[in-house]
């Protein structure tokens, strides 16, 4: 079930890897998308705005957790590429320790700080209770999110993108069923949507864990694998924490952008919520390609095959450009039917459609820079370099905030331009940084 990406045709390997992973990522997005659709259709615009107003905070906390667990998988991928099963098992065990500890700490801090964060981000008074009720349940279930991301990252580090897909499909249908049960039958509102998400993620994590133990001999843990070693913890932190911090830096920009959106009122917040859900679904191919880039670069670096990294990245870039163009066309052509999924009929709908179409127009125009940012940032991280991705995150923060605040007088146009400018700025950092990293690695190989 493992997938050795150090041998064979890079294009075929990448396509074989990303297809099930893409399907899995799309199903994962259904968690938030179905929540949003059902809340918007059956609870109302204020509830929809309440869920959407927490987007920046959600990304800030969950993004930090996701970055940390994704970083933990890099030494595992490198150990697998180096054909060192003992190293793989030990870093899996250390990842479990650190994920549980960090999960507990993050849960305590985030639940205590939720109220002040909602106030700082200017959450409208008429949606505050919806926002708080939704986020407090998501945060109390944070450990389920981290557990799934950790197990999925471990499987992907070994080249297995199919198993997380299968369990995500099961969890996605469970999430949909629970949404209808909690919201329509039990009348739980946004709290029901959050509870459905947490339960579904927990089921995914449990299924992945059971499967890993039963089916992967390389992951059959032994007692000595669980011996705590500070040196190993330092290695994981040296990669995981910068990746987590990078996500948080980007998320700070999202929080400040969300604050600017919140200041425009409930309709603007509801519109932005729809924009984010459609955008997140549209960019899943880029995120998938990024995960492939991390695994591919990590395994081949572990095997010492620098030329193979270069060859594979060229092929992935071509694939990414094609996908970006296709996604832009699809979103541009089908934006109205997509918007209608989220909205009840009413007098606000015309304005919401106007806002969402404006945002999606500019987002689609910059999908290629976004793809380059995600792919090359991920490849650099797979090679163990966290500095330049962090710098790119800071550039994204500055770009997103300066445009949103500087152009707030233009209303929703300023909001629409913030992310495209941030994506372009980040891409201008990581693409040259990748070639610099590759050049340094080639020099080191020649010296040997």
Please tell me the predicted confidence (pLDDT) of residue 280.
Answer: 84
pTM (2 decimals)?
0.70
Q: What is the pLDDT of residues 337-350, one digit of tens each?
A: 888 877 766 657 78
pLDDT of residue 347: 56
Mean of pLDDT values over 153-172? 80
Model confidence at 3, in pLDDT bands (50, 70, 90)? low
- Rounded to a whole number of angstroms, the distance between the first and last alpha carbons of the chain is 34
Q: Using the predicted structure, report yes or no on whether residue 27 has a pLDDT greater than 80.
A: no
Quote the CA–CA distance of 260 and 414 in Å, as a whole number. Answer: 10
Return d(Cα 134, Cα 312) in angstroms, integer. 42
**Three-state secondary structure along the chain?**
CCCCCCCCCHHHHHHHHHHHHHHHHHHHHHHHHHHHHHHHHHCCHHHHHHHHCCHHHHHHHHHHHHHHHHHHHHHHHHHHHCCCHHHHHHHHHHHHHHHHHHHHHHHHHHHHHHHHHHHHCCCCHHHHHHHHHHHHHHHHCHHHHHHHHHHHHHHHHCCCCHHHHHHHHHHHHHHHHHHHHHHHHCCCCHHHHHHHHHHHHHHHHHHHHHHHHHHCHHHCCCHHHHCCCHHHHHHHHHHHHHHHHHHHHHHHHHHHHHHHHHCCCHHHHHHHHHHHHHHHHHCHHHHHHHHHHHHHHHHHHHCCCHHHHHHHHHHHHHHHHHHHHHHHHHHHHHHHHHHHCCCCCCCCHHHHHHHHHHHHHHHHHCHHHHHHHHHHHHHHHHCCCCHHHHHHHHHHHHHHHHHHHHCHHHCHHHHHHHHHHHHHHHHHHHHHHHHHHHHHHHHHHHHC
Q: What is the mean pLDDT of residues 56-79?
A: 86
Minimal CA–CA distance to 280: which of 61, 52, 48?
52
* pLDDT single digits (tens) 232-279: 999 998 888 877 877 777 777 778 788 888 888 888 888 888 888 889
Question: How high is the pLDDT of residue 101?
Answer: 94
For the cut 90, the answer to whether the pLDDT of residue 217 exceeds it is: no
CA distances from 188 to 114, 178, 196, 269 (A): 20, 11, 11, 22
pLDDT average, residue stretch 411-424: 88
pLDDT the model gives residue 13? 86
Mean pLDDT of the chain: 86
CA 174-178-179 angle, to 5 degrees, is 115
Q: What is the model's pLDDT at position 31?
A: 61
- Residue ranges of domains in the chain: 10-447
Name the packing angle between helices 266-282 and 10-42 (round to 10°): 150
pLDDT band at 28 (very low <50, low <70, confident <90, very high): low
Neighbouring residues of 289: CB distance < 8 A, sequence distance ≥ 6 = 14, 18, 316, 319, 320, 323, 371, 374, 375, 378
The predicted structure's pLDDT at residue 382: 84
Q: Say if residue 102's pLDDT is above 80.
A: yes
Which of 12-21, 49-58, 369-378 is the most confident on average?
Answer: 369-378
Q: Is the pLDDT of residue 365 over 60?
A: yes
- What confidence category does residue 116 fall into, taking pLDDT thresholds of 50, 70 and 90? very high
Q: What are phi and psi of 194, to 5 degrees?
A: -65, -45
Of the pLDDT bands very low, low, confident and very high (cuts 50, 70, 90), residue 77 is confident
Split at pLDDT 50, 70, 90, the class of 373 is very high
Token pair of 322, please? 């094609």
Distance CA 441, CA 184 (A): 57
Kindly give, in sequence order, each residue whose CB lies less than 8 Å from that of residue 337, ignoring residues fewer than 6 positions away.
Answer: none
Please tell me the predicted confidence (pLDDT) of residue 45.
Answer: 73
Is the pLDDT assigned to residue 447 strictly greater than 60? Answer: no
């Amino acid at each position: 079930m493992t997938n050795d990406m150090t041998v064979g045709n890079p294009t075929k390997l990448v396509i074989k890897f990303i297809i099930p992973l893409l399907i899995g990522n799309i199903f994962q997005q259904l968690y938030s998308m179905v929540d949003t659709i059902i809340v918007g259709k059956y609870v109302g615009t204020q509830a929809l705005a309440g869920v959407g107003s927490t987007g920046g905070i959600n990304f800030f906390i969950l993004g930090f957790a996701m970055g940390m667990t994704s970083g933990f998988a890099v030494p595992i991928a490198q150990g697998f590429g180096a054909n060192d099963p003992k190293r793989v098992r030990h870093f899996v065990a250390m990842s479990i320790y650190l994920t549980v500890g960090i999960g507990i700490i993050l849960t305590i801090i985030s639940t205590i700080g939720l109220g002040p964060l909602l106030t700082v981000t200017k959450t409208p008074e008429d949606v505050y209770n919806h926002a708080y009720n939704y986020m407090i349940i998501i945060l109390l279930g944070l450990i389920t999110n981290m557990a799934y991301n950790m197990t999925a990252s471990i499987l992907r580090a070994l080249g297995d993108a199919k198993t997380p897909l299968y369990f995500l499909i099961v969890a996605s249908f469970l999430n949909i069923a629970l949404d209808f049960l909690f919201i329509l039958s039990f009348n739980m509102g946004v709290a029901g949507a959050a509870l459905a998400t947490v339960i579904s993620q927990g089921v995914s994590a449990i299924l992945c864990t059971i499967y890993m133990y039963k089916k992967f001999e390389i992951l059959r843990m032994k007692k000595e694998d669980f011996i705590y070693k500070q040196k190993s913890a330092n290695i994981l932190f040296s990669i995981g924490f910068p990746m987590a911090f990078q996500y948080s830096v980007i998320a700070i920009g999202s929080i400040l952008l969300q604050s600017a959106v919140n200041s425009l009122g409930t309709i603007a917040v509801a519109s932005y919520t729809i924009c984010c859900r459609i955008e997140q679904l549209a960019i899943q191919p880029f995120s998938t390609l990024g995960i492939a880039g991390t695994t591919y670069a990590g395994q081949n670096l572990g095997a010492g095959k620098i030329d193979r990294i270069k060859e594979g990245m060229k092929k992935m870039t071509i694939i990414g450009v094609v996908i970006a163009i296709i996604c832009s066309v699809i979103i541009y052509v089908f934006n109205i039917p997509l918007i209608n999924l989220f909205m009840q009929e009413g007098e606000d709908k015309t304005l919401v459609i106007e806002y969402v179409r404006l945002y999606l127009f500019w987002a689609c125009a910059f999908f290629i820079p976004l793809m380059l940012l995600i792919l090359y940032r991920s490849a650099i991280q797979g090679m163990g370099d966290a500095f330049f991705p962090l710098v790119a995150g800071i550039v994204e923060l500055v770009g997103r905030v300066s445009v949103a605040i500087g152009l707030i007088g233009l209303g929703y146009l300023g909001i629409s331009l913030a992310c495209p400018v941030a994506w372009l700025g980040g891409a201008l950092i990581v693409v040259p940084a990748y070639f610099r990293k590759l050049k340094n690695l080639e020099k080191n190989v020649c010296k040997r």
